Structure 1
Amino acid sequence: MRRVVILRVLLLLLGVFSLTMVIPLALAVVYGEGDLIRPFMAPMMAVLIPVLPVAILTRKQPIRFSASDGFLLVFFAWVLICLLGAVPYYLSGHIPRWADAVFESVSGFTTTGATVIADVEIMPRSLLFWRAMTHWLGGMGIVVLTVALLPLLGIGGFQLVKAETTGPEKEKITPKITETAKILWFLYLILTALESLLLWAGGMDWFGAVTHSFATVASGGFSIRNDSIAAYNSPWIEGVCTVFMLLAGFNFVLLYRLFQGKYRDILNNSEAKAYGGVILVSVGVIALALIPGSASPGEAVGKAFFHTASVLTTTGFAAADHNAWPPAAQGVLFFLMFIGGCSGSTAGGIKVVRMLVLGKQAGNEMKRFLYPKGVFTIRLNKKVGRKDVVYGVAGFVFLYLLVVLIAALIVSSAGVDIFSSLNIALITLGNIGLGLGAAGPGAIFDGLPGYVKGVLSLVMIAGRLELWTAFVFFSRDYWRQWGW
C-alpha cells in the first residue's frame, strides 16, 4: 500500500511539473523556434498521458504517508524531475551529450548555476527561458509548489515540505501547510515581479529582466549573457541584483512577518542579526582590499556588496573577475562559501544559523574549561536552545565537510588541481555555482569526464535537500521500516 501511494504521488508531482513546459513551448512558437516545439512537447505528453487517468481515477482517495515516506518521495521526485528537465536540452541538440544535459538540468533545479554551455548567447530564447525557469521552480521548491496547488496533498503534506526545505528547524506561517506554501509562493512571485520591473527600468529588455529575476530570487545564477551581470556594466542593475540576492538569502518566514509589520520578530532573531553582521564585516574587509586598485571607494564598496551577496546567498552571479582580486578579498569569499544564507531561504550552504549554533557551543566549551561544574546552554532568539539542535547541527556539518572532501578527491582524479577541486566540490554541494581558481567567473564544466559530472549532479541534489534527505537511504534502520 505504501508503494502504491508513493508511486501515485510521484506521478502527480511529475504531472504538475510537466505542465510548466507549456510556457517555454509557447515562447518557442512566439519566437519562431519551430525546432524547439518537439523537445518540449514530447516529454510533457509522455508524462501527462499516464498521469491524467491516475489523477482522475484516484482523485477522491486520501493520501497519507509517514516522515520516512516523505524522504523517499522528495528524493525520487527531485531525481525524476531533474531527468525530465534534461530532455529538452538533449532533444534540441544544443546539449548533445545526455550526461551534460542532466548536469545542466540538475544545476538549474538545485539553483547551483554551474554550466556546461560555453556560449549561452547563441542559445534559442525558449531554451534559455526554460533554463531560467528551472532555477525559479527549484528555488522555492517543486514539492512546495505542488503542495500549494494540490489541496489533496494537504494531509501529510508537511512531511514532504519538511524533507525539502532548508534549515535545522522547519517553521510554518499558518497551521495548514497548504496555506503556508501558498503564502510563501505568493511572496516569491511578488519579489520576482518587483525585481523584473526594476531591472527593466534599468535598461534590460523584458526577457533579460525576467530570466535574471528568476535566477536572483531563486539564488541560482544562470545568466543569458556569457559575462553574467558584468556584461551590462550598470551600477543600477548590480545594485538591484544585490538587494534581491540578499532578500532571497533571508528567511522567507521572517520576510513575511516583516511585511506584516512584525519588526520585533526580526530584531529578536539571532540568525537575522548574524546574517547582517556577516554581510557588513565581509563587505568592509573586501572593500578595504579593493580600494587601492579601484577607480573610487564607491566602486569598491559596490563590487564588495555584490560579490558578498552573490557568494553568501549562493547565487553565483559575477560582476567582476574576483580571481584577479587581492588574496584578502578572495579569502573572505572562500570563507563565505562555507556559510551560505539563512534557513528557510532559497540559498544553499551550511546556513548561518548552523554556524551560529556551532560558534555558541564552542564558546560554551571554553567556559566549561574554566568552570568544570557549570551548566551552559546556547540561546537563540532570546530563548534557551535545545541540545538536540546542537547535536543535529554538529552531525550535519561533519557530513557536509566529509562530502566536500570526497567530492574534491573524485574531481581531482580527473586531473584537476586540488584547490580547484575543493572549490568545485564546495560550489556544487553548497549550490553556489561560483568559486575561485578554475571554478571562478566564466567557468565551464563541459571538460569534466562524464563520471565526475554524474557524481557532481548527485552532490548538487544532496546539497539542495540538506543532505539528510539524500543520505538517510544509507541507514540500515531506514530500510528496516520497509521490511528489507
Structure 2
Amino acid sequence: MRRIWELPLLVILTGVGSLAMLLPAAHAAVFGNFTVARPFFYGAVMFFIFTVLLGIATDNYRTKIAARGRLVALLGAYLWLPFLFAIPFSEALPDTTFVNAWFEMVSSFTTTGVTQYDMPGRLSPSLHLWRALVGWLGGFFVLMSAVAILAPLNLGGVEVLSNRVPGRSARGVEQITHGAGPSARMVRHSSKLFPAYLGLTVLLWVLLLMAGERGMTALVLAMSTLSTSGITNGPGSASGSHLSEVVVFAFMALALSRRFMPGAVQADKNRTLWNDHELRLALGFLVVVPVIMFSRHWVGAMGVEELFNPMAALKALWGGLFTTMSFLTTTGFESADWQEARSWSGLNSPGLVLLGLAMMGGGIATTAGGLKLLRVYALARHGEREMNRLVHPSSIGGGGDEERRLRQGGAYVAWIFFMLYALTFSIVIAALALRGLEFDQSLILTIAAVTTTGPLAVLAAETPIRMIELSMPVKAILGAAMIVGRVEILAILALLSPNVWRR
C-alpha cells in the first residue's frame, strides 16, 4: 500500500475514477438497463488496467520541485479527469457528442452543476447518479487540494491570514513538505476528511428519506449539497417539501466556513466559532438580503389584498432565505417558494441579487466557489479603516496583530485577487461576445462558470439559457472558465512564477 500511495497523484486519481464507474454500472444492471451498464463496466475495467500499467511505469518517478509538482498535479487533475469521466458517459448516451459529454463532466467535477440535458427523461437515473457522483468526488477533491496543496503554498485564501507571499510556503512548512509529494499528503489528510465527508453525506441522505424524498432523489441531493454542485436528477425531481429544504439549508451552512469540517485548513485556530469572520459576514448577508426583498413588498406598493396574508409572507421570507443561502454557498438550489418570494418583492427577475451572492462565494478551503467571504471581509475592514483615518488621521486601528495584519497585508492580497478576478471576467465575457452571444448572456454565463454556480444560467436571466444550444467553441470557453474558477487564477499564476520553477 505504501508503494501505491507514493505513485503520482494523477495515477491514483485515475484509479479512483475508474473504480467509481462501477457504481452507475451496478445501478444500471440492477434495473436492467444494460445499455448504460456495459459502457461503465467496460470503462472501469479498461481504465483500471491502464492505471496499473501506468503505475508500474511511473513507480520510480519522483518530482524534484515539490511546489511545482503539487500545482501541476492540481491543474492536471482538472484537465485529465473530465476526459476520463466523459468516455463512458458519451458511450452510454449515443445521441450526444463527446464535446457535450466532456462539458457535462467538467461542469460536474468542478461542482458547477450546469447541465445541457434539461429535458425530462433525457438521461436515465444511472447517468444522473454518475453526474452527482462526479460532482461529489469533485467536492472532496476541492477539500483535499485546499488542505494538502494550496494551503502549504499559501494559496486558496490562506494568504489573506498568513501575511506571506502567495505561492511561497513558510520555511518550516517547506522543510516538512519538500520530501512529500502531493499523493502522500492527500492520502494522509484524507484519513481525517473523507470519513466526515462520507458520514455527513449519508446522514443527509437518511434525513431526506425521512423527509419524504425518493431514494435516488435523496441521494443525488445529498451528494450535491455536500459538494455544492447543485446537481439534481432532472427538473422537478424533488418533492419541494419545506422539511427537505430545512434539512438541506442546515447542511449548506457547512460551506460557509472551513471550521465545520475536521482536518480542514485552520489558519486561525485560536478564534472561536462566533468570532469567525466568514460566519459573521455570511450571517449578515442571510439577514439583509431576504429582509430587503421581503420589505420591498410594501416599499413597491404591491397589491393591497396581499398586505395581510401571513402564509404568503412566511413563504416569501423562507424562499428568499433559502435561495440566499443556496447561492451564497454557490450551490444553486431554488426554493419551492422562490417564485412566491419574487412575486412578493415585485422583482420579475432578481438576477443581479443572485449574481452578487454567487460572486461573494462561501468560505475558504470549502467546496464553495466565488471570491470567498474572507477576502470580502478583508476588503471591507480595510475600507472601514480608511474611512476612519479620513475622520481621525492620527487614530490607531485596534483588534490586535491578527486584525491589523488582515486589514493591511491581507487586504492587499485580497485586492490583487479581486482585480485578477475582474480581469478573468472581462476576458471570458469578451471571448463569448466574439462568438456572437449577447452581453447579458455572456455576463451570466461567465459568472456562472467562474464562480462554479451553474444554475445561474437558468435563474439569473429573464429567459433561461439553454446550454445545449450553445456552439462548440462557446462550450470550450466556458469549460476553461470553470477550471480557472475552480483552481483559482492566483494558483495558476503561482504555477507560472519563475520562483516556483527554481525551487
| TM-score tier (shorter) | 0.7 to 0.9
2:286 to 257, 279, 290: 279
Say whether residues 1:192 and 2:208 are aligned partners.
no
CA contact (8 A) 1:184 1:252 kept: no
1:83-162 alignment, distance < 5 Å: 83-93=83-93, 96-141=96-141, 144=144, 158-159=148-149
Match of 1:47 in 2: 47
2:412 to 377, 391, 411: 391
1:368-379 alignment, distance < 5 Å: 368-370=389-391
Query: Structure 1 64/33 Cα, relative in aligned 2: closer, same or farther at 3 Å?
Result: farther
Match of 2:275 in 1: 268
Match of 2:25 in 1: 25
Match of 1:152 in 2: none
Say whether residues 1:317 and 2:333 are aligned partners.
yes
CA contact (8 A) 1:132 1:222 kept: yes
Structure 1 distance, partners of 2:281, 2:410, is 18
Structure 2 distance, partners of 1:323, 1:341, is 24
Match of 1:360 in 2: 381
Query: Structure 1 225/164 Cα, relative in aligned 2: closer, same or farther at 3 Å?
Result: farther
Match of 1:348 in 2: 369
Counterpart AA for 2:353: V
Structure 2 distance, partners of 1:132, 1:303, is 24
Counterpart AA for 1:235: H
Taking only the aligned residue pairs, the percentage that are identical comes to: 26
Structure 2 distance, partners of 1:59, 1:414, is 45
Say whether residues 1:168 and 2:168 are aligned partners.
no
Match of 2:346 in 1: 326
Match of 1:241 in 2: 248
Counterpart AA for 1:68: R
Structure 2 distance, partners of 1:119, 1:197, is 28
Deviation at 1:266, TM superposition (A): 0.4
CA contact (8 A) 2:116 2:468 kept: yes
Structure 1 distance, partners of 2:480, 2:353, is 28
Deviation at 1:76, TM superposition (A): 0.7
Segment of structure 1 superposing worse, 50-59 or 295-304: 50-59
Structure 2 distance, partners of 1:380, 1:323, is 44
**What secondary structure does 2:129 align onto?**
helix
> How many residue pairs were aligned?
459
CA contact (8 A) 1:341 1:348 kept: yes
Deviation at 1:287, TM superposition (A): 2.7
Counterpart AA for 1:186: P
CA contact (8 A) 2:379 2:414 kept: yes
Deviation at 1:478, TM superposition (A): 6.3
Match of 2:320 in 1: 304
Deviation at 1:17, TM superposition (A): 2.1
Segment of structure 1 superposing worse, 360-369 or 457-466: 360-369
CA contact (8 A) 1:252 1:344 kept: yes
Structure 1 distance, partners of 2:396, 2:276, is 24
Structure 1 distance, partners of 2:263, 2:29, is 41
2:258 to 252, 261, 283: 252
Counterpart AA for 1:251: S
Match of 1:450 in 2: 472
CA contact (8 A) 2:355 2:447 kept: no
Deviation at 1:101, TM superposition (A): 0.9
Counterpart AA for 1:222: I
1:455-466 alignment, distance < 5 Å: 455-466=477-488
C-alpha offsets along residues 15-58 of structure 1, whole Å, 9 cap, x if unaligned? 22221111111112111111113321343333322321454677
Say whether residues 1:217 and 2:226 are aligned partners.
yes
| Structure 1: gaps spanning 5 or more residues | 148-156
CA contact (8 A) 1:360 1:378 kept: no
C-alpha offsets along residues 91-137 of structure 1, whole Å, 9 cap, x if unaligned? 12256112211111011011111111132534122111001101100
C-alpha offsets along residues 308-365 of structure 1, whole Å, 9 cap, x if unaligned? 0111111111234588763495443232122011112111100111011111112233
CA contact (8 A) 2:351 2:459 kept: no
Segment of structure 1 superposing worse, 13-22 or 180-189: 180-189
Deviation at 1:391, TM superposition (A): 2.6
Say whether residues 1:205 and 2:214 are aligned partners.
yes
CA RMSD across the alignment: 3.6
C-alpha offsets along residues 364-383 of structure 1, whole Å, 9 cap, x if unaligned? 33344445566658879767
Structure 1 distance, partners of 2:324, 2:187, is 34
**What secondary structure does 1:73 align onto?**
helix
Structure 2 distance, partners of 1:131, 1:451, is 23
Structure 2 distance, partners of 1:305, 1:237, is 14
Q: TM-score with structure 1 length normalisation?
A: 0.83
Structure 2 distance, partners of 1:85, 1:257, is 28
Structure 1 distance, partners of 2:464, 2:195, is 33
Match of 2:166 in 1: none
Deviation at 1:455, TM superposition (A): 0.9
Counterpart AA for 1:340: G
Counterpart AA for 1:423: I
Segment of structure 1 superposing worse, 342-351 or 427-436: 427-436
Query: Structure 1 47/377 Cα, relative in aligned 2: closer, same or farther at 3 Å?
Result: farther
Query: Structure 1 58/460 Cα, relative in aligned 2: closer, same or farther at 3 Å?
Result: closer
C-alpha offsets along residues 274-326 of structure 1, whole Å, 9 cap, x if unaligned? 12111111221223346856852110111011110111111111234588763
CA contact (8 A) 2:155 2:490 kept: no
Structure 2 distance, partners of 1:405, 1:313, is 23
Query: Structure 1 37/196 Cα, relative in aligned 2: closer, same or farther at 3 Å?
Result: same
Structure 1 distance, partners of 2:465, 2:152, is 34
| Structure 2: gaps spanning 5 or more residues | 163-175, 177-184
Structure 2 distance, partners of 1:143, 1:317, is 21
Deviation at 1:466, TM superposition (A): 1.9
**What secondary structure does 2:467 align onto?**
coil
Query: Structure 1 44/277 Cα, relative in aligned 2: closer, same or farther at 3 Å?
Result: same
Structure 2 distance, partners of 1:408, 1:45, is 41
Match of 1:151 in 2: none
Structure 1 distance, partners of 2:448, 2:410, is 26
Say whether residues 1:401 and 2:408 are aligned partners.
no
Counterpart AA for 2:157: G
Structure 2 distance, partners of 1:206, 1:164, is 41
C-alpha offsets along residues 116-171 of structure 1, whole Å, 9 cap, x if unaligned? 113253412211100110110011216829x9xxxxxxxxx933775798433499
Query: Structure 1 344/180 Cα, relative in aligned 2: closer, same or farther at 3 Å?
Result: same
Deviation at 1:228, TM superposition (A): 6.0
CA contact (8 A) 2:144 2:189 kept: no
Structure 1 distance, partners of 2:356, 2:424, is 17
Structure 1 distance, partners of 2:453, 2:313, is 27
Deviation at 1:429, TM superposition (A): 0.2
CA contact (8 A) 1:139 1:346 kept: yes
Counterpart AA for 1:313: T
Structure 1 distance, partners of 2:56, 2:16, is 14
